[in-house]
Structure 1
Amino acid sequence: MVAKVAWTRGAAGAVLSAVALGAAACSGGDGTPSGAVSSAASAVRSAGEAVSSAASEAAKAAESAAAVAKDKLADVKNGVDAKDQVTLGTVTTATDGYTTVPVTVRNTDDATKSFAVQVEFKDESGSLVDTVVVTVSDVAGKGTGQGTARSTHKLSGTVTAQTGTALRY
């Protein structure tokens, strides 16, 4: 752990030295940083704040969607695990900017059943960015049913989908 801390301090020192040298190189004749360096630092700070704010809003939206999904699944009475009876298709972005994925359910029971399927949308790093519950109603015994999961908000970047909880009832 000591070696890691020392390396981190050394790296931080190198970065600070580079920034100081860059500022000195771009200073006016009186030794003060030029407007370009000050503007660049301000732009970097503003961009960082915007990214942080967007990430925070995305996390809040995902948390809210997860809470709604949990409530919907809790409303299902006498549901049995049916995750292995769900297949998700190819994730696409619709023209309105929302992300969708086809959901196919296979009813292995003899009687007509309905399904509640939680679909989790994740970003490139695997972080949850949205979750929805799709209901596929009245699937005939030994038959299949179709539905479409649609994100609750516009998602950007590469998005994948996976089945969270799936209940047959």
Structure 2
Amino acid sequence: MQSNGARGPARLILAVAAVVSLAVSLTACSDDSSPSDAASKAASAASRAASAASRAASAATRAGDSLASATAEAGRKFDEFKNGADAKDEVKVDGSASPDSDGRATVKVTASNPTSSARSYVVQVDFRDKSGNLLDTTVVTVDDVAAGGSKDATARSNRALTGDVDTTVARAVRH
């Protein structure tokens, strides 16, 4: 499935193709045998835009591949806990993420254990932009949460994220 983030580069590539086509048309309509100055400038600008669009599309592809890999890894980690109890309502995140020194988004995760014995939690945290698009996902373990107590951990994105990043608990298992 293509995310909304990948549509921007595709639209940019189509726009660049239209500009290149226009530049070629203007060149062909020139009164003399050399391209007009305007057509030459348009062709040069189109070439630069095409290069930028190609780089943007490549970055979008890498980001999509990274997200798919992170999502698959989260699934594998949860598959290890077949007998765990759904504990999504026992885990909270701070809400907004803040960047660490590497530009990766971090957020505090708090697991509250309502049971009568110590438990550990596996928590999947999703990082989303303000439009709700999934940017990254990660899994954090909160070990040995005391009976009736709570414990904090830090979820960290797998790659650098920019802009305002919201976080949610996608799922959590207590075991």
Q: TM-score, normalised by structure 1?
A: 0.81
1:32 Cα deviation from its structure 2 partner: 2.8
User: Residue type of the partner of 1:68?
Assistant: E
1:126 Cα deviation from its structure 2 partner: 2.0
Unaligned 5+ residue runs, structure 2? 1-13
User: Residue type of the partner of 1:142?
Assistant: G
Confirm whether residue 57 of structure 1 aligns to residue 62 of structure 2.
yes
1:56 Cα deviation from its structure 2 partner: 0.8
SS at match of 1:114: strand
Deviations 1:93-151 (A, max 9, x none): 01221110000011111111000000011223322221111100010111001100001
Work out whether residues 122 and 161 of structure 1, in 8 Å CA contact, stay in contact via their aligned partners in 2.
yes
Q: Out of 141, 149, 163, which is 2:155 matched to?
A: 149
Q: Give the alignment of 1:70-89 within 5 angstroms.
A: 70-89=75-94
Q: Give the alignment of 1:1-169 within 5 angstroms.
A: 20=22, 24=26, 30=32, 32-33=35-36, 34-89=39-94, 90-169=96-175
SS at match of 2:144: strand
- 2: CA distance, partners of 1:41 / 1:86: 50
Unaligned 5+ residue runs, structure 1? 1-11
Count of aligned pairs between the two proteins: 153
Deviations 1:71-102 (A, max 9, x none): 11111242111111111013100122111000
- 1: CA distance, partners of 2:80 / 2:174: 13
- 2: CA distance, partners of 1:55 / 1:157: 16
